[in-house]
Structures are given as structure tokens and as C-alpha cells.
Amino acid sequence: MAENHAMTPHALAHHFDSLDQQREAGTLGMWVFLITEIMFFGGLFLTYILYRSKFPHEFVAGSHALDIRLGAFNTAVLIGSSLTMALAVYYSQVGSRRLLVTYLTLTMLLGLVFLGVKGIEYTEKFEHHHFPGADFQWEDPAQAPALDGNPGAGKVDGRHVEMFYWIYFAMTGLHALHMIIGAGLIAVLIVLAVRGRFTAEYHMPVEITGLYWHFVDIVWIFLFPLLYLIGRHE
């Protein structure tokens, strides 16, 4: 322990006995934090499930208007970033500064690609008046010919499609916010890594940021099928 202390003078906080204890505490802390995140997103998932079962047609219609290719591309990007993050953690453990920096940078770039694509999708939604709110417009592509010129006829109710889009924007927006925070954390890690702050003994920040990053990816793995895929065959 005293040896570790000598090797990495800034690494061990005063109230811990050893770096091991410190690392385990950090990891446990991150796990607990991720559990709170699950509960946080859980509220939104519950809302989604409830209203999906209440307005199935509207949710399917809204889902159809999402760009499945961009969604699938983003899914691939995120899975890739999880891989690079895992590699970054690995190289931090073996103490390879160069590869650590490389993979952290790759991870951050992939994260930014994801956010960029998300931005394109959002822009498209604004242009098509699919962003909920005052400007929201919904034309049902599969609309039945209106008989009698009856207003409001058609299979799906635009107001409930709007609700789908609220939930879509709330869920993906919150997810994107987590991505931005993650990318910011990785940027800090890159700076620290370049300065040589991480060693084979001390790399806890890389590890727990990795946990966070994987979590954010997993959330997307749930969001993608829920928002883009379910009901696609209808």
C-alpha cells in the first residue's frame, strides 16, 4: 500500500487505506448510480408502455415515420463505441498510454457521430412538423378517403401521434443528454491520459466512465426497438 502511495502520489485520497479499496468504492458507487439511472429511465419506459397499449395504431404510425436506416446506423455506431470503450479500459489496465488515448478518442468520436446523426434526425422531424407542439402536423399516409368530407376522419388520431413524438423526444433527448455528458467525461479522460495520470495501478476513472458509457449504450439498445422497430410489419 505504501508502495502504491509512493508511485502515484495524487491517486490515493486521504480517507482510503489502499488503492484497491478506493477503486472498489468508485466502481460500486458507479453501479449504484446506474441503478438510479435505470429507475429514472424506468418512469419513461412505463409511460411509453402504458400509452403504447392505449394508442397502438398511433404509436405504430408515429414509428413508421422515423428513419429506420439512421436508427440502425446509430445502433451500430454505439455498439462499436462500446467495443472501443472496452478496449480503452483494457489498455488502461495494462498501462498502455498510447492505446488508451487512441481508443478513448475513437470512443468519443463515435459518440459524436451518434449525436450528429441524431441531430440530422431531429432536424428532419422539425422540417416535417413532427416535432410536437404548436407546429405539429400529422397527415396519415394511410388515411382512408374521407366520406362526406367528414372532418377528423382517418384511422389514427394526430393528437396521440403527437404524444408518441413527445415520448420519442423525451426518451431520445434524455439519452442524448447522457451521451453528451459521457463524451465530456471522455474528453476529460483523454486530457488526463495524455498527461500520464493513469497507470496500471490507478485507472479507476477510466473504468467507471466505461461503466457509464456501456449503460448509456444499453439504454439505446432498448430505445431502438421500442421506438423504431415494434409494429413495423403492420
Partner 1 sequence: MIPKQPRTHYLNISYGFKSWLFTTDHKRIGLLYLVSITLFFFVGGAFATIIRLELATPQGDLVQAETYNKLFTMHGVMMIFFFLIPAVPAVLGNFLIPLMIGAKDVAFPRLNLLSWYIFNLGALFTIYAVVSGGVDTGWTFYTPYSTTYSNTHVLATGVGIFITGFSSILTGLNFIVTIHMMRAPGMNWFRLPLFVWAHYATSLIQVLGTPVIAITVLLLAFERVVRIGIFDPALGGDPVLFQHLFWFYSHPAVYIMVLPAMGVVSELVAAFTRKSIFGYDLVAFASIAIAVFGFLVWGHHLFVSGQSVYAGMIFSFLSYAVAIPSAVKVFNWTATLYKGSVSYQTPMLYAFGFIGLFTIGGLTGLFLAAMGLDIHLTDTYFVVAHFHYIMVGGTIMAYLGGLHYWWPKISGRMYPEGWAKLGALIVFVGFNLTFFPQFLLGYMGMPRRYHAYPEEFQVLNVMSSAGASILAVGYILPMVYLIWSMRYGPIASSNPWPATGLEWQTSSPPPTENFEEIPVVTWEAYEFAGQE
Partner 2 sequence: MEKWIPFIPERASTVAGRVDALYFFLVGVSVFFALLIAGLELYFAIRYRRRSPGEMPAPVRGSMKLEMLWVVIPFLISMVMFAWGSSLYFTIYRPPKDALDIYVVGKQWMWKLQHLDGKREINELHVPVGRKIKLTMTSEDVIHSFFVPAFRIKADVLPGRYTSVWFEATKPGRYHLFCAEYCGTSHSGMGGWVTVMEPADYEGWLSGGRAEGSLASTGEKLFQDLACVSCHRSDIQGRGPALKGLFNRPVRLEGGQTVIADEGYIRESILNPRAKLVAGFPPIMPTFQGQITEEQLLQLLTYIKSIGPEETPAAPPSPEAQAPSGGAGVTRKENVKQ
Residue located via cell numbers 412538423:
129
User: Which does residue 154 bind out of partner 1, partner 2, none, counting CB within 5 to 8 angstroms by kind?
Assistant: partner 2
Does 152 help bind partner 2 (rule: CB under 8 A)? yes
Candidate residues 116, 155, 225, 234; the one interacting with partner 2 per rule CB under 8 A: 155
The closest alpha carbon to 175, from 222, 113, 229, belongs to 222
Does 15 help bind partner 1 (rule: CB under 8 A)? yes
Q: Which is nearer to partner 2, 21 or 143 (CB)?
A: 143
The DSSP code sequence of 169-219 is HHHHHHHHHHHHHHHHHHHHHHHHHHTT---SS--HHHHHHHHHHHHHHHH
Candidate residues 150, 195, 196, 233; the one interacting with partner 2 per rule CB under 8 A: 150
Does 50 help bind partner 2 (rule: CB under 8 A)? no
The closest alpha carbon to 118, from 187, 81, 168, 54, belongs to 168
What is the spatial distance between Cα 46 and Cα 156, in angstroms, rounded to a whole number? 22
Q: Which stretch binds partner 2 (CB under 8 A): 34-42, 146-154, 197-205, 220-228?
A: 146-154
User: Which does residue 35 bind out of partner 2, partner 1, none, counting CB within 5 to 8 angstroms by kind?
Assistant: partner 1
CB 85 within 8 A of CB 214: yes
b vs e for 197-208, b when ≥16 Cβ sit within 10 Å of the residue's Cβ? bbeebbbbbbbb
Min CB(31)–partner 1 separation in Å: 9
> Which residues, at least 6 apart from 7, have a Cβ–Cβ distance to it below 8 Å?
199, 201
b vs e for 96-124, b when ≥16 Cβ sit within 10 Å of the residue's Cβ? ebeebbbbbbbbbebbebbeebbeebbee
Residue located via cell numbers 472501443:
84
Task: Tell me the CA end-to-end span of the chain in Å, nearest whole number.
Answer: 62
Q: Which stretch binds partner 2 (CB under 8 A): 20-28, 87-95, 155-163, 211-219?
A: 155-163
Does 17 help bind partner 2 (rule: CB under 8 A)? no
Does 156 help bind partner 2 (rule: CB under 8 A)? yes
Candidate residues 73, 90, 122, 166; the one interacting with partner 1 per rule CB under 8 A: 166
The number of residues that bind partner 1 (CB under 8 A) is: 36
The number of residues that bind partner 2 (CB under 8 A) is: 13
Does 154 help bind partner 2 (rule: CB under 8 A)? yes
Q: Which is nearer to partner 1, 36 or 120 (CB)?
A: 36
User: Which does residue 6 bind out of partner 1, partner 2, none, counting CB within 5 to 8 angstroms by kind?
Assistant: none
Residues that bind partner 2 in the complex, under the rule CB under 8 A:
55, 144, 146-148, 150-157
